[in-house]
Structure 1
Amino acid sequence: MTPRIVELQTRDFSAFAEYLNDHISDNGAEGQPLFQPIARIDCHFAGEKAAGFRRALDVVPPNPGWRRAWVALSGEDRIVGHADLRAHPAPCMEHRCLLGMGVHRQWRRSGLGQRLLNAAIEWAQADQQMAWIDLQVIASNHAAVRLYERAGFTGAGLVQDCFRVDGRQVDYLSMALPVQAR
């Protein structure tokens, strides 16, 4: 069954938090690529991080601190992927947003990431104020980089040795996608 993609509602946030905790547990584990610059011991979604995400869903764009998210629901409405857009923290960047996304381990390389990415891009294109989607990705996460390139994102800069995670040097790649004609 093909998962359906819906906008995340705050009433469904506890299921989302459960999914995201499971998803983050894959970060750099047992041959999995590093997709967040987070040490293994810190790979969890709870506390202020989760509360801040939840609060941001109630903020209406273009107000500072907004966030929108989409989830992929499979079978009995089990979350198997997500994409989110959020406001840049700098006040003069209201015309840009930041992308985050992930796909459950059993659904990777199924095309679901592209569908989630398309939902986020379509939302940004419908917002006349939004001009760019930005993202940062671990440069060695080649599958993610290819996904973003196929969607039209281009490299905006590479920071070598940006992070030291669990004793490894990690390069960070910034990418951007224009969503309105300039």
Structure 2
Amino acid sequence: MSWTHSTLAMALMELSRDRRYDENEQKNGPERHACMALIRLNLLRRRDKLTMERKERNQSLSQFPDSTTSLLQLPTITQCKTEISMQVILSSMERKRSYTTVYPSEIDIIANESDIANGLVCRYSTGKCQHRRAQKNDGTYLNLCHMHRIRANANQRKLDRKKSKKHNQRQQLNANGMESRKPGKVRNILQSILQTKKPHST
């Protein structure tokens, strides 16, 4: 078997590479084994710690079984709020339903000649409305059509709010006046006036 220069060079390179790998493996082998052992030890400690914490938590919960069940049976604030809000919604729906059943229809209709002859035209103050008066379910007629009825109700509510506001302001003024006319306060005011009028001693 004949060896050429290239094959000899490649064989020498392979031998030197294997020798260097063995030397590096011998040098880094103990350090790598020590690092892996440290990692394995840390993992075992972490597992033991989690196991102990889980056992302590279970023991603490098992000591108070009655308190946990009683707390679970109590209603929460959100449940109470939900029940109250549902009651409010249902009551408002009932009010709206009762309001809408008062009138069979809220669509204004132009009065014809027979309506004018029977006096069923809207009696708004301007006298220019040509719609028929609003009719209830019982057959009775209002003095106004639906549009002017709604407008009159809005104006009435506005007047009621103004009256209520003035009434509250009047009551507040009366309460403040009664507070200022108390005997103790009047006496204090008179004493302060007399003290300011006394001549200063020289």
- Indicate the TM-score class for this superposition, using the shorter chain for normalisation: under 0.3
Between Structure 1 and Structure 2, which shows a larger proportion of helix residues? Answer: 2
Q: Which has the larger radius of gyration?
A: 2
More relative contact order, 1 or 2 (CA 8 Å, 6+ apart): 1
TM-score w.r.t. the length of structure 1 is: 0.16
Greater fraction strand: 1
